[in-house]
Chains A and B, each alone.
Chain A
Amino acid sequence: MKILIIEDELEIAQSIKNYFKTNGIQCETAENYNLALNKIESYDYDCILLDLMLPDGDGFDILRELKRKNKTEGVIVVSAKETLETRLEGFNLGADDYLTKPFHLSELLVRMQALIRRKNFKGNNNIIFNEITIDIFSKSVTVNNIKLDLTKKELDLLLFLIGNEKKVLSKAAIAEHLSGDMADMLDNHDFIYAHIKNLKKKLHQAGSEDYIKTVYGLGYKWENE
């Protein structure tokens, strides 16, 4: 899988690159408008991460350019601008998702995975991890073909964990992922503990192995030992 990161802050681009590398995602970077246009012209990507404020141009123009060239890459706008108007304009111009800076790398990763899944949808939309199968379309989870009764949050959590396989996820990142728009107000992330506990219990009862590891002080990690 290959993605393009259009971001003038090189260090952010580098962090994303490093984080994604271990999940088998190859990242190319473009730190300005012209370079980005060149790369889009020459290569095809599975996904593009787009910063709106570039030193030599407007990120929206890249969206327009993609549309003009009938390019089908999924685009996630990653921007410090977070007004409703810029969001709507982004979506109007063909962006698929919008993430406000600052963000958690884990969040970006699952959003990207979801986007690519939507784009590559070919009738079958299952995520399979050993004995666990998740049907994204019908939102059902089975362990060794036994159906699990998960709440919406638990399903969300499971997807988040599996998507960030082998990554340490901070409580803040999980809490923010689970609370969506309300995340900005939270000052206490302890509530995720209950969700983790319930998910672990349900997976265990269905005969799944315990993939959810607690990382001392920091958070949790999905790992197949």
Chain B
Amino acid sequence: MKMKLLTKTTNSFLAYAIIILLIAAPLFYFICQQLYIYETDEVLHFHKGAFIQESHRNFTQNDIDLWNKYNHEVMIIPDMGVRKDSIVGKMIYDSIAREKEPFRVLYAPVDINGKRYTYTERINLLEMEGMVFSIAGMFLFIIIILLIGIILISKITAVKIWKPFYDTLNQIHDFEIDKNKAPHFIPTDIDEFDRLNKSLEKLIEKNTAIYQNQREFVENAAHELQTPLALFQTKIDTLAQLDLNKDQSEVVASLNTDVSRLNRLNKNLLLLSKIENESFLEKSTIVVNDYIKKHLDFFSEQADAKNLTINTEFTSTLTINGNPALTEVLINNLFLNAIRHNEKNGKIIITTLDNELLFSNTGQDTPLQIEKLFNRFSKTNSASQGNGLGLAIIKKITELNNWKISYTFYNNLHSFSVKF
């Protein structure tokens, strides 16, 4: 699964925090407990030292009995054989709480009036439990607050930090080299993003320049060809006026065909590059049916050579919004294609629907190869007179207007449909 960068960093952050918390909580509790016990033991030692210092060594047996009578925590009992100070943890029954409670008990040898006694003192650890718990709780609370804060802050700053990156990402996603609109990246003070933007800018600039160059090349080449073509044409016209024999006439006639073809090719290349340069931007409303009706005579004339039948099925009035010149080129090309690739005594059916124009024609009895159909100079039939630009031009025009061109072969009819 693809994850957002921010989610990913936050997730690992959270995982780390949880692990640390799980390990830290018991460890912290244990350390607190040990510290408290250590402190308690210190107090025990201190009390014993004070007891010895405060000249309790002069106690008589009576004093000791009396001391023991009033003191429950600190007692002087007959020698238990303790040689040096020792502290042990013990569970002792508490009559008030009526349960066993944890205690630290100090056993120390003391000499009173030359006689050896054992000094015992106990401190209840019950307070410690509560204290450790509240300290641990507070500590945890602080840690959690801290973590939440850190995560929130890092998230907010991350959003801020990554903003130029996402902006750049969106811009290059929307970038199209054939539209004259270079992306404009937001300036950033982060070195890496700045480098990314600069590199992208350079890359786009370079590629746009190459693209532009190539586009201009096609246009310039086509333009430059017009003068030699004009020379060629006028010279053939001049040549045709001479008193030619049959063979010579044939050569001149075929030269005529060639120059026509060259001329057409050149005009189509110019048209293509002009479409790419968006020279046809102004739009108006066009009634497709009317245009076809108006020029039907012209096309019928062209179709007569193959004795084609042209049927128009205007099921609805197709009104579209587009550049008039290009729309005419589109319809003309579709129509001429249907004539050019037809067979003798074949037929052409022109259908207009609500938002679709359909040209269906008879022709070769196998479907055309769809993959290469709309590429420049792809010709399905090398014997055909077409220059392989007709469908490329159609495709370009539909792309420019966001229309959809598709090809189907059904019932031995080749159909080109334009959805507006």
Given A182-B298, A185-B336, A218-B252: A102 in contact with B238 (beta carbons within 8 A): no
Compute how far the CA of A15 lies from the CA of B340 in the bound complex, rounded to whole angstroms.
Answer: 34
The contact string, 1 if C-beta is below 8 Å from chain A, for chain B 228-253, is: 01111111111011001010011011
The answer to whether B180 has its CB under 8 Å from any CB of chain A is no
B386 in contact (CB, < 8 A): yes
Given contacts A80-B223, A80-B227, A218-B240, contact A191 B301 (CB under 8 A): yes
Q: Is the CB of A80 within 8 A of B333?
A: no
* B226 contacts A by Cβ under 8 Å: yes
Bound form: Cα–Cα A80–B263 in Å: 12
Assess A9 versus B231: contact at CB under 8 Å? Given A170-B253, A170-B256, A218-B256. Answer: yes
Those of B322-380 within 8 Å (CB) of chain A = 325, 332-333, 336, 340
Q: For the complex, would chain B's binding face be called helix, strand, loop or mixed by DSSP majority?
A: helix
Which chain B residues numbered 285 to 315 have a C-beta less than 8 Å away from chain A?
A: 295, 298, 301-302, 304-305
- Set A100, A106, A218: member contacting B253, Cβ < 8 A: A218
Q: Bound complex: CA of A15 vs CA of B235, how far in Å?
A: 7
State whether the Cβ of A88 lies closer than 8 Å to any Cβ in chain B.
Answer: no
- A179 partner residues in chain B, CB cutoff 8 A: 298
Complex interface: chain A residues within 8 A of B134 (CB): none
In the bound complex, how far is the Cα of B246 from the Cα of A215, in angstroms?
9
- Least CB distance, B52 to chain A, in whole angstroms: 116
CB-contact partner of A172 in B226, B234, B256, B301, under 8 A: B256
Considering only CB atoms, which chain B residue lies closest to A80 in the complex?
A: B226
A120 within 8 A of B: no
Residues in A whose Cβ lies below 8 Å from that of B385: 187-188
Q: Considering the chains assembled together, what is the distance between the CA atoms of A216 and B247 in angstroms? A: 10
Assess whether A12 is in contact with B231, with CB atoms less than 8 Å apart. Answer: yes
**A101 and B238 within 8 A (CB):** no
Given A102-B229, A170-B253, A19-B301 contact (CB < 8 Å): no
A173: chain B residues at CB < 8 Å are 237
Taken residue by residue from 93 to 110, chain A's Cβ proximity to chain B (1 for < 8 Å, 0 otherwise) reads as: 000000011111110000
B240 near A184: Cβ-Cβ < 8 Å = no
**B279 in the interface, Cβ–Cβ < 8 Å?**
yes
Is A186 close to B, CB under 8 A? yes
Q: How far is the CA of A80 from the CA of B223 in the complex (A)?
A: 7
Asked whether B229 lies within 8 Å of A101 as measured between CB atoms, the reply is yes
Instruction: Report chain A residues within 8 Å CB of B264.
Output: 184-187
Give the Cβ gap from B383 to chain A, nearest Cβ, in Å: 12
Q: Offer 18 A-B interface pairs, CB within 8 angstroms, sorted by A.
A: A11-B231, A11-B234, A12-B227, A12-B234, A15-B235, A19-B241, A80-B226, A80-B227, A101-B230, A102-B230, A102-B234, A182-B295, A182-B298, A185-B333, A187-B340, A215-B240, A217-B253, A218-B240
Which residues of B come within 8 Å of A, CB atoms? 223, 226-227, 229-238, 240-241, 244, 246, 249-250, 252-253, 256-257, 259-261, 263-264, 267, 270, 274, 279, 295, 298, 301-302, 304-305, 325, 332-333, 336, 340, 385-386
- 6 nearest A-B residue pairs (beta carbon): A15-B234, A102-B230, A80-B226, A101-B230, A187-B385, A102-B233
Known: A101-B229, A172-B260, A188-B302. 12 other contacts (CB 8 A): A11-B235, A80-B223, A80-B227, A101-B227, A102-B226, A102-B229, A172-B256, A179-B298, A187-B260, A191-B305, A215-B240, A219-B253
